Amino acid sequence: MIPSLDMADVLSRARAAFLGVAVGDALGATTEYLMPEEIRRLHGVHDRIVGGGWLHLAPGQVTDDTEMSLCIARAVIDAGGWDLPGIADRFARWMKGKPVDLGATCRRGIRDYLLKGQLETPPNEWDAGNGAAMRMVPVALCTLGDEERMARLAVAQARITHNHPLSDAACAGLGRMVQRAILGASRAQLRAAAEELCARTPAFRFEPYRGEASGYVGDTVRTVFHHFFGTGNFRDCLVATVNQGGDADTTGAIAGMIAGAHYGRKGIPERWLRRLDRRVRDEVEAAAGRLVALSPAAGNDPEGRNGAV
């Protein structure tokens, strides 16, 4: 266990990070693929979890962002440590269940795992999407306290479906910010971490912001950083992010993971939590605690017997 850590606060922030994924996903799915002017015409300011959208979701229903994150969480918890084949198996089981949403790149990677047993998809210039970055929270939680290990395992899980330098950098960079926020980093320290990531990977530079919120991971990171650092609370961050439109369930989920970790459980509007699918809410909160219990922050080794990568 890391000395002097307030583990009650750590656990609260960890739960808020995972809840933030689900809340941002459910909120943003309504405005996915819309332009900002279309959102204004249809919703004014979209700030309620009402479902609908192009997927015709029920209020509080989540999409692949949360569901794939839960696949990782379940595999790690079941194994009592890191288990990359177990994660791929969970993805495959989920895909066979015909989920409401599944991106083409994720589908291809999971299909190749089923057909070839392939745990790392070959490098592909078209793999710079955000489908790996959106599922980073369980990795950040089970490796809490060890950023090097987090970055390595983040890339390992990413490459089941996405193998591109920008995807790798986004996964590691976002995971680093989530871990630091959970461990109590200030806003200024998070800003420094974001700027460090942008210096290493200029595609993520978010100033000036051009308003692009597509499924390209560069646009996603820029959108999330712009709205996280341009607002002062969880609600405003999420509302601004999902009203940008585009791949709004994923930008919402990623903004939610960072904002949840930073602002904590009390920062998430209770009305949003009440609207979230109760089964998802309960599993996310329970999983967050169990993942942190496996982490270096709690004095454990998340890789354990299944940790070879």
pTM above 0.85, yes or no: yes
* Tens place of pLDDT per residue across the chain (309 aa): 555 778 899 999 999 999 999 999 999 999 999 999 999 999 999 999 999 999 999 999 999 999 999 999 999 999 999 999 999 999 999 999 999 999 999 999 999 999 999 999 999 998 999 999 999 999 999 999 999 999 999 999 999 999 999 999 999 999 999 999 999 999 999 999 999 999 999 999 999 999 999 999 999 999 999 999 999 999 999 999 999 999 999 999 999 999 999 999 999 999 999 999 999 999 999 999 999 999 999 988 878 655 443
Max CA separation in the chain (angstroms): 54
Distance between CA atoms of 145 and 139, rounded to whole angstroms? 12
What are the b/e assignments for 25-61, b being 16+ CB within 10 Å? bbbbbbbbbbeeeebeeebeebbebbbebebebeebb
User: Nearest-5° angle of CA 153, CA 154, CA 155?
Assistant: 90
Q: Within a 10 A sphere around the Cβ of 207, how many other Cβ atoms? A: 11
Distance between CA atoms of 191 and 197, rounded to whole angstroms? 10
The answer to whether residues 36 and 243 touch, using CB atoms and an 8 Å cutoff, is: yes
